[in-house]
Structure 1
Amino acid sequence: MNNIDVLVTYLVIGLLASVALSIIAVKAKVIRRGAIPQSVLVGTLVTLSGLPSVLLFILFLLYSTIVTRLGKEPKIKLGVAYDLEGRGASQVAAVGFTPSVMAMVSAVTYAVNLTTVAKIFLISYVASLAATSADTWASEIGVLSRGNPFLVTMPKAKVTPGTSGAVTWLGELSSLAGSTAIALTYLALNVVFNNSPNWVKFNWSTVNPTIQLILLILALGYIGEVLDSLLGALTQPKYYCDRCGMVTEQEVHTCGGRTRLIYEPRIKLSNEDVNLLTSLIVAVTAVLVALAFSRLLG
């Protein structure tokens, strides 16, 4: 069976498996029913890149689900328990578009024997997952911080938890942990699947490229979260509650008082738009860095 035949086989298997897994994900409240088409598309494209890529994506979803459900009661009280019933269609598309496209391009280029290009796009796939993981961990764990969050663009202002662009030190540490989780999972899968044909294999004859590649993924993931926070702060309106002395995105604050507009962005983006843009920037950066340092590919 040649590479093209394998690709077609993966496509069929991926479609069937993605339908089944999406239905399970709805029942487990990982996604909502309306997100099934997007979930199936993302899952199918990721499957094209082989079993290691699929396992990495499944573990990424598992990690994200666990941190989302941490501190359920405090999140409900704060009014930030948005994803406890599962992610919606726009969220699945924003989170899954970039890594699934990178995985697909990697698979297709490998099938036509462009092996180095395939490896570069596979690194981009992993890096985009690391960035999304970093953002999710920062948001879901950071909101539980006892300290007041602050905007990256207004560090002295008190900010309502859950506001786009708001960060905490706990959230930043969690972001680094989320990126590290993907990098280390990638490392573990490389050990297990080191003979997989379309999976980036380390050059174990020297440890330095291995460490550099892991650090690259970890760094890009964390930088992606910082960029996400910055874009969130710059592209969404901010209001001020005089009663509470806090910055928020709500025209009526949680205290019941009306707020006044203090920042109107020239370009407005939704959370999903910011997530998608960030993952695209990280993915493209990963491609450029991998091209510049192709020796990392082994």
Structure 2
Amino acid sequence: MIDQLVLAFFLSGLVAALAYWRGSLAPSGVAGALLVGTIIYGLGGWVWGVLLALFFITASLLSHYKEQEKQAVAEKFDKGHRRDFGQVMANGGGGALVALLHGVFPSHWWLPVFLGIMGTVTADTWATELGTLSKRPPRLITTGNVVPVGTSGGISPFGTAVSFVGGLLIGFVAGLLGQMNLVSLTVISGIGGLVGSLCDSFLGATVQQIYYCDICDKETEKKVHCGQPTRPLRGWGWMNNDVVNFLSSLFGGATAVLVYSLLVA
């Protein structure tokens, strides 16, 4: 196991360094990626490491896709596409925790949990990066009212569809790499990812901390906007976007386990 952890540390360092050079990671994000990558690959195995890399590569590519068109929406978000330590842990921390538990208490149940978590963060990232390009305006998940693009809790048919595809991809690749039945894993990850992504939207619409900028009269996730402090509008003070992403990934993992118990166990 020591040899695998050393190899995982080395490979994670290479990926993190490349991501930093490409502008996908902030300096603190490099440390987070090194930690998450080492734990997931070192304790979960190479297939788990591949799935983590698949999420990270697609997330990085999509963050730069039509970047100019998404600029107006991106300025609403608390953080940019250069992921810091908090963002890396929000997206990869759940998977690292499961890999750690898998290393200490080996069980076949950890795989569907991991698939659900990675399916959720992939689905949510795809929904954010591609859903904002939808031609139809999003609607708030709790009321169905039309809201501006980029509003926390806003969903659209296109964004929901691409999020489902993102979740399906994680399970499909796991199946291709020999992890149990391909169709079952694809369904498990797809459903877990979709439900987890919708959970993210629900939390964003209800309890995530949202601020209001009196300068431009817009909602935002940022504490400072237009060069001035914003004022709390709704939500819990500690429930920022990173916390929402982390909790949603765990919910997606729990959903995947439920689906796994119905299909396989």
TM category (shorter chain) comes to 0.7 to 0.9
TM alignment of 1:127-206, pairs within 5 A: 127-159=116-148, 161-190=149-178, 200-202=179-181
- Corresponding pairs, count: 261
Q: Structure 1 unaligned runs (5+)? A: 1-6, 111-116, 191-199, 203-209
**Which amino acid in structure 2 is aligned with residue 228 of structure 1?**
D
Report SS of the residue matched to 1:66: helix
Structure 2-normalised TM-score? 0.85
Aligned equivalents of 1:8, 1:260: Cα separation in 2: 49
Q: Which residue of 2 aligns with 1:108?
A: 104
Counterpart-to-counterpart distance in 2, 1:158 and 1:164 = 9
Superposed CA offset, 1:211-238 (max 9, x none):
3342122101100010100001101356
Residues 187-215 of structure 1: CA deviation (Å, up to 9, x unaligned): 2222xxxxxxxxx434xxxxxxx533421
For 2:246, the equivalent position in structure 1 comes to 276
The alignment's TM-score, normalised by the length of structure 1, stands at 0.76
Q: Report deviation, 1:157.
A: 3.8
Residues 1:10 and 1:248: Cα distance change in structure 2 (over 3 Å): same
Distance 1:266 1:53, change over 3 A: closer
* 1:142-187 CA-partner distances (Å, limit 9, x unpaired): 111222222112322432x222111122211111111122122122
2:192 maps to 1:220: yes
Larger Rg: 1
Q: CA offset at residue 133 of structure 1?
A: 0.6
Matching residue of 1:74: 69
Q: Residues 77 and 236 from structure 1, CA distance in 2 versus in 1: closer, same or farther, beyond 3 angstroms?
A: same
Residue identity opposite 2:186 in structure 1: I
Q: Show CA shifts across 1:3-29 (max 9, x none).
A: xxxx22211211222223211211122
Q: Which of 229, 241, 249 is the equivalent residue of 2:220?
A: 249
Contact 2:142 2:205 in 1 (8 A): yes
Please list the CA deviations of residues 51-106 of structure 1 after superposition, one character each: whole Å capped at 9, or x if unmatched.
2211121112111112221111111244448534x211110011110011212322
**Cα separation, partners in 2 of 1:152 and 1:27, compared to 1, 3 Å:** same
Match of 2:87 in 1: 91
